[in-house]
Amino acid sequence: MAEGAILGYLQNNDEIANSEKFAADFGFSHDEIVNAIRSLHGFRFIDAQDIRRERWVLTEEGKTYAAGGSPEFQLFSAVPLEGIAREELQKKLDPAVYKIGCQQAIKNKWVEMAKTHVSRKVQHADDKVKDLLLRIQNGEAVNQEDIDALKRRKLIIQQVWKGNSVRKGPKYAPERKRAATDLTRENLQRGDWKELEFKEYNFSAKGQPVEGGHLHPLLKVRRQVQTIFLNMGFEEMPTNNYVESSFWNFDALFQPQQHPARDSHDTFFLKVPSSTKMLPEDYVERVKEIHESGGYQSRGYGYDWKREEANKNLLRTHTTAVSSRMLYALAQKPFTPKKYYSIDRVFRNEAVDRTHLAEFHQIEGLICDRGLTLGDLIGVLHDFFSRLGMSKLRFKPAYNPYTEPSMEIFSYHEGFKKWVEVGNSGMFRPEMLLPMGLPEDVRVIAWGLSLERPTMILYGIDNIRDLFGPKVDLSLIKRNPLCRLGL
C-alpha cells in the first residue's frame, strides 16, 4: 500500500519533499512510509535523500512548569508582602517544588530565607523559565545561553527527527513487480516463467560464517598415545573391521566356546550376515585340536569344539582379535620380530552407567620376538606408562584365557591418593601361538588399556557419558584444552 502510494504520486509529480507530511496527507504512519522508501531505494525505483531535523522538546517536568509555573516563581508567589513562616510556606507547596524553588529563588535573589521566616527581597518577579518553556513548546527560537540553562535543569531534551525527500530513480516504474528468487515447477507448468523478472544474484554477499572443526578430547589423547607408540618403534595394526568372526575373536585366542564372555548377554552377535565362510581351514583344524585334546604340553579343554560356533559373526569385543590375525599372518613368512599397536573401538553388551558404555576404545600393544620373558614385559610397561605420566607402577597376578602369566597393572594416582587399575597384560600362551606356526622359541608380550579412562582423568570428567555418546555437550568439544601426556 505505501509503496503504491509513493510510486503513484511520483508518476505525476517530480518530488516528495517531506516524507512525514506525505505520510500525514495519505493516511500512513511515518515509519511505514520510511520502510517503503528504503525498500524502493534499494532496488533503484526511487532516489531518496535523508532529511535530519533537530529540535528541543520539553521533558515531563518541563511540561509541568510550562503549565503551572517554575518552582521558584511558585515559591515567590506564595510569599506575601509581609513575609511568612518557613513552616507555613512549606505546607503551602509541594515538597519537590519547595525544595527546588528555595534554591532557585535564593539564587535569583527574589527571597530572603531566615531561620524561621521567609520574606521577599523584590516586589515583582517575572517567570522567565515558564516563558522560555512556552516558546520552545511553540517552536520559537531561543538563544543558546537559555537553552543550556534549561538543559542543565533537565527541563528540555533534544529530539532528532529523520525523514526523506524522494525523486524517481533509474529503474522507476508506476508499479513495482516483485522479482522472483526461484524458478518453480508451477512456473513451468503455467508458462508464466517467460514474464518473470528474476532477482540478480549477489556474488558479493557474505554467507553465514563457517566455524572450524574442533578435536574431541579422545582424539587428542589418542594422538598423544599414538605418538608414544611410534617413538617406541611400533607399527599400527589395521583395525578398520568392526565385525569379526568368533573364531578370530575367541577361538584363535584359546578361549573356550563355553566361556561366559561368548554369551549373548556379553557380546553383540550379528543377525545378517550371521556367520562367516572365510577361515583358513588348516589353521582351523589345529585350533580345534588344541581346544579338544590339547598339545604342546597342554591338556586343552576336553570338549567337543563346534565349527558353527566359531563361524558366528559379532562386533569385536577387543582389538586382540586383530592381534591374532596379525600374528597368524606373521607366522606364514620367515619369522621377523615385530612391534604392533592399535587404538580403536570395541563393543560389549554391558549395562551403561557412569563408568561403562556399550562401545569404547581399546589401546593395545604387543611385541613378538625370540626369548622374551616376563621381565621384558615389566620393563616395557614401565617405559610405556612413564611416557603417559604414570611412573609409579605395581603389578598383580591375574587370569586371562590367552595369556600366561597375566598381570593387572596399577598406577598411583596423585589426585585420588590411591592405586588405580590402568590396564591388563601378559604373555600369549603357547596354545595360541604354536598352532599359528610360529617358532617354538618365539614369545609375545602384550598389554591393553582403555582410551576413555586416562582421558577422563586428564580432563577431570567423572561420567563417561559426558565424554562419549549422544549426551556430550558440544561446548566441551569446542573449549577443551590441549592434551599433554607425561608432563
Biggest alpha carbon–alpha carbon distance for the chain: 133
d(C-alpha 379, C-alpha 363), whole Å: 18
pLDDT of residue 466: 80
Q: Which residue has the cell 515567590?
A: 76
- Name the residue among 279, 262, 280, 270 with its Cα closest to residue 318: 262
pLDDT of residue 264: 64
Q: Would you call 211 helix, strand, or coil by DSSP?
A: coil
Residue 451 and residue 343 in contact, taking contact as beta carbons nearer than 8 Å: yes
d(C-alpha 468, C-alpha 349), whole Å: 16
Give the predicted TM-score (pTM) of the model: 0.56
Residue 361 and residue 222 in contact, taking contact as beta carbons nearer than 8 Å: yes
d(C-alpha 467, C-alpha 310), whole Å: 35
Cβ-count burial of 270 within 10 angstroms (0-12 exposed, 13-18 middle, 19+ buried)? middle
Neighbours of 381 (CB within 10 A): 21
- The full DSSP string for 227-277 is HHHHHTT-EEPP----EEEHHHHTGGGT--TT-GGGSTTTS-B-STT-B--
Neighbours of 223 (CB within 10 A): 14
pLDDT above 70 for 427: yes
How far are the Cα atoms of 57, 67, 69, 270 from residue 64, in angstroms, in the given order?
13, 5, 8, 86
Torsion on CA atoms 138, 143, 148, 150, rounded to nearest 10: -30
- Interval 229-247 mean pLDDT: 93
**pLDDT band, residue 459 (cuts 50/70/90):** confident
Q: Would you call 111 helix, strand, or coil by DSSP?
A: strand
d(C-alpha 315, C-alpha 360), whole Å: 12
Task: Give tens-digit pLDDT for 388-420.
Answer: 888 889 999 998 888 999 999 998 877 778 888
pLDDT above 80 for 271: yes
Task: Give tens-digit pLDDT for 125-141.
Answer: 999 999 999 999 998 88
d(C-alpha 308, C-alpha 40), whole Å: 78
Q: Which residue has the cell 557474505?
A: 206
pLDDT above 90 for 174: no
d(C-alpha 350, C-alpha 236), whole Å: 28
Q: How many contiguous H segments (helices) and E segments (strands) does the chain have? A: 19, 15
Task: Give tens-digit pLDDT for 65-85.
Answer: 999 999 999 999 999 999 999
pLDDT above 90 for 211: no
d(C-alpha 315, C-alpha 50), whole Å: 71
d(C-alpha 472, C-alpha 339), whole Å: 35
d(C-alpha 244, C-alpha 317), whole Å: 9
Q: How far apart are the first and last CA of the chain?
A: 71
d(C-alpha 175, C-alpha 375), whole Å: 93
- Name the residue among 137, 139, 126, 157 with its Cα closest to residue 67: 137
d(C-alpha 477, C-alpha 487), whole Å: 22
Q: Which amino acid is at 295?
A: G
pLDDT of residue 485: 66
pLDDT of residue 476: 78
Q: Would you call 187 helix, strand, or coil by DSSP?
A: helix
Q: Which residue has the cell 600374528?
A: 327
pLDDT above 60 for 64: yes
Average pLDDT score, the chain = 88
d(C-alpha 318, C-alpha 219), whole Å: 19
pLDDT of residue 374: 94
Q: Tell me the pairing of strands 117-120 and 111-113.
A: antiparallel
Tell me which of 358 and 288 has the higher pLDDT. Answer: 288
Per-residue DSSP letter, 115: S
Tell me which of 205 and 233 has the higher pLDDT. Answer: 233
- Interval 92-108 mean pLDDT: 91
Task: Give tens-digit pLDDT for 333-378.
Answer: 999 999 999 999 999 887 777 777 888 899 999 999 999 999 999 9
pLDDT of residue 265: 66
Rg of the chain over Cα atoms, rounded to whole angstroms, equals: 45
Lowest mean pLDDT among 16-20, 174-178, 256-260: 174-178
d(C-alpha 225, C-alpha 458), whole Å: 13
pLDDT of residue 487: 45
d(C-alpha 59, C-alpha 274), whole Å: 85
Share of the chain above pLDDT 70, in %: 98
d(C-alpha 444, C-alpha 463), whole Å: 35
